[in-house]
Chain A
């Protein structure tokens, strides 16, 4: 996947190192190797590889990771523009 890179500096991924307990769950579930565990704390090593799937945030037991998950699908995004973010949207 290293030969597929998408836009930089766009991800909503945030890591609060203070809260992190070093359980390494984020590193396990991330399909793009965004995290690594160093000195018993998680660290973001490849932020721009993040595709905001939300696996890390869902599996962080102390809510140290946050991300706005979503569907990276054009027709979905067009519908959110038209109907608003909270609308019920039928998609792909």
Chain B
């Protein structure tokens, strides 16, 4: 029933009010009730004859089968229907959602409904800003728009951020044209301009948008934080607004997702590690599987930390340009920790094997980080992988052989 209604809603711009990400426990948003809109009944009429005090009556914005998003203040009646006006400050559920997405929890389902929204009290002259329907992108935009009157057009990028969606061609020329036509934007605004984030440019051809729907694309700044200055400067972006940065905090915020992507397949890896560690002159030893397995597991996890945590943090200071080499450096540093810690409890061959393993894992994890940086070209990544992968495969094979062989030669 609910699914049916949501589908129906996609036909009109009002659809934007609903979202999967923000299914509140209580549909009756307190914000709605404070707006002074006429309610079904006044609260006094609801005086209960028994039992606990009743909640307030439903707001006029409620529709059967829909849920109000917490970030919606109210709805503005326009020539193209009711458009949700959204808050420009983030509240606790938004911040909690950001943290979940940054940890990689349900990140691929953290989205808002595509369509038209607004902030402030926009009229026909107000600018139209285009963004992706990843909730983090949406939140990043709206929180920069306090004291601003604007329309916000959210594209259906399947819950992916602007830049990645542009690369995947869901933040695209066709999608911009489709949404502009679907909403009848030309009847809502008197101008014919759309402000797009610069990082959407790989997916959107400005001249084709103009041809397709009559709207001119104005390339806005990379960061939403620069939007107000951009608008104040007559929609001109200063050079710094057009250039990417990759600061320490911008790198560190990516680490949890990197780890979550690596640690999922690690369960299978660790299982294999414990099984291989148990192979002994007595066919199979459970105590060896456990104790030797723990050593390898520690070496493996240290390799993951060296490659997916240390490399992102120390990226500008690690020598060389190839990520697999940077990973080898941090991996060797990490490997000495584990060997020093284990000391004489393992043989020299085992120590060397663990150093090799930690370094290899770190090298691979570091190479994977290329996909999260804003400056590595695919041609460059492929070139370094042609060098790095053979080294990693050989090192891994040698590690496995020597580790399994160690109890026999000890």
Identify the A interface with B (CB < 8 A): 1, 3-7, 10-12, 25, 28-33, 49-55, 58-59, 61, 68-78, 91-92
Contact = CB atoms under 8 A, between A and B. Distances in A.
A29 B368 contact: no
Contacts of B371: 71-76, 91-92
B202 A54 contact: yes
- Which interface residue of B239, B246, B316, B380 has the most chain A CB atoms within 10 A? B380
Contact of B376 (A51, A55, A58, A75): A51
Nearest to A13: B377
Interface string B220-240: 001000000000000001010
Contacts, number: 129
A73 B205 CA distance: 24
A32 B202 contact: no
Interface in B332-375: 367-368, 370-375
Contacts of B237: 28
Secondary structure at chain B's binding surface: helix, strand, loop or mixed?
helix
A18 B222 CA distance: 30
Interface string B237-277: 10100111110000000000000010000000000000000
A50 B375 CA distance: 8
A6 B380 contact: yes
Contact of A31 (B204, B244, B377): B244
B63 to A, nearest CB: 36
B198 interface: yes
A28 B219 contact: yes
Contacts of A72: 370-371, 373, 376-378, 380-381
B243 A33 contact: yes
A29 B219 contact: yes
Nearest to B245: A1
Interface stretch (B16-24, B70-78, B82-90, B382-390): B382-390
B208 to A, nearest CB: 9
B113 to A, nearest CB: 24
B303 interface: no
Interface string B380-410: 1111110001000000000000000000000
Most buried by A among B246, B261, B373, B379: B379
A5 B321 contact: yes
Query: Which 4 pairs from chain A and chain B are nearest by CB?
Result: A73-B371, A70-B378, A55-B201, A29-B201
29 contacts: A1-B245, A1-B375, A4-B246, A4-B316, A6-B377, A6-B380, A11-B380, A28-B219, A28-B237, A31-B198, A31-B199, A31-B222, A31-B242, A50-B377, A52-B378, A53-B201, A53-B202, A58-B202, A59-B207, A61-B207, A71-B371, A72-B373, A72-B377, A72-B378, A72-B380, A73-B381, A74-B370, A74-B385, A92-B261
A80 B67 CA distance: 42
